[in-house]
Structure 1
Amino acid sequence: MAVPFSPDRLVSILRAEGVRVVEVDEWRTHNRNHKGAFGPINGVMIHHTVSSGTDSSVRLCYEGYDSLPGPLCHGVIAKDGTVYLISSGRANHAGGGDGRVLSAVVAERSLPATSKHEGSSGAIDGNAHFYGFECVNLGDGRDPWPDEQLDAIERTSAAICRAYGWSAASVIGHKEWSDWKSDPRGWSMDDMRERIDNRLGRTPEQPKPTEPPATQYAPFPGAGWFKQNPRSPLITAMGRRLVAVGCSRYSQGPGPQWTESDRQSYAAWQRHLGYNGDDADGWPGPSSWAALKVPKV
């Protein structure tokens, strides 16, 4: 019987497999454990977000929405291969599914065709049994899946399987769990399981070094923190970085109080990174914040 990983253990095994990890807000205690069990853990489930843009997708999966409160997965896998951890406990990602599929996953044998979904008579609660990873993709069959993203799916799945002593037969797609679902769409789960099993036969690669070390930069304080109009030396440090990268929209300053000038300057930074629309609204998100490299204060 596999118990859930501690947050430290989850980070450790992912990084040992060469996964680039970003820890989002209060992910270590952000969960739905009050709504039901999390464990025993029997497998990994892969999803697509039906969304675009890293920051907005991470925010959606972290917060959820009225009819489906967050967290909506354990990690979001961005197109550049970065994995954003948003929960280490029970998450709203799998819903109801086929008990025959769960039995096959536990036994690590071929999957039967699913005939259950959320609300079906006899459906099994998948949120208790699977780690879930949402991959940023529109899910329309046309939105591309970059090699970096597929590599991160492979590494993330292999890391969990390696730590539990499983084969790739413990990794399934949401569409293999629920007959209502189509995710992930755009590649074959059988091909991905073959990739994962090939990786499990190799020694894990060491994590790719980051230069300079991320520890000298201020961690992302959370999207909600900025919307409270904070006054902090961190705002000054952020503003100085925005000036340094040529995205200043300040008439004076920057200073410690969050202002509309800060938001406009940050929106210019988001556009500089290639974001547009709602992803360039001036409210900081985890990926754009990491790219800005705001020093610790």
Structure 2
Amino acid sequence: MSRTVYVNGEYLPEEQATVSVFDRGFLFADGVYEVTSVLDGKLIDFDGHAKRLKRSLGELDMAEPISSEDLLGVHRELVRRNDLVHGMIYLQVTRGAATDRDFAYPSKDTKPTLILFTQSKPSLANNPMADTGMKVISIDDQRWGRRDIKTVQLLYPSMGKMMAKAAGCDDAWMVEDGAVTEGTSNNAYIVKDGKIITRHLGTEILHGITRAAVLRFAREAQMQVEERSFTIAEAQEADEAFITSASTFVMPVVEIDGEPVGDGVPGSVAKRLREIYLDESRKVAV
């Protein structure tokens, strides 16, 4: 049975879903996206994702295709139509399709393209990697300078994933000017002497919705948090390391560039933060 997807106001079987060959998302990566996790049929952190979507669109001078309230309705309808219990909903907005290919933006009356689709992940909250931990490599960060905008320009992160796979690892942490920026699709953290350390916000990294929630929960649990840059060498000498994202929640990192982190097994801070995040997020899921 095929999925039902949403394309520009219509719910369609995935086989019937199409966009124009002149769509700027296809031609120029002129678009943004969000990923919202679904647990027990409910949306996790939807408000945060909707607010970040609005910010991304504003930074690119792109029109909002529908209101946040209507967007919530579309998400819920896709959950219902696809009987989604655990998984994700991917959303993409592009600047739409002009009459021809042109680097210049089309006129303001060009309608944005809005697409949403689901992915079922039955083991989303029970990912076995949470018990074993991830292995990462470091790579140069060669992305553009506005990583705070969640655009669909994901070629280099995809290349980074493949570099990690070729090295027999799970992901890559990107490094710029000697400091870790983030993972290919996640925010990066280390733990030293009980203190959680993660890069400060700026244009160099994505302002993760899961990141914001996890740091809030950590502070509420009286954990120390320091937002600053750190190096790969510092990460290798840390007691623990982990990542956060909408699809992995909190995931321990146990090896960096072949060197074990701490004891080489998931640490207590990452484990506790994962428990807190899942428990608290489920309480307020919509």
Provide TM-score, normalisation by structure 1. 0.26
Higher strand share: 2
Higher helix share: 1
Provide TM-score, normalisation by structure 2. 0.27
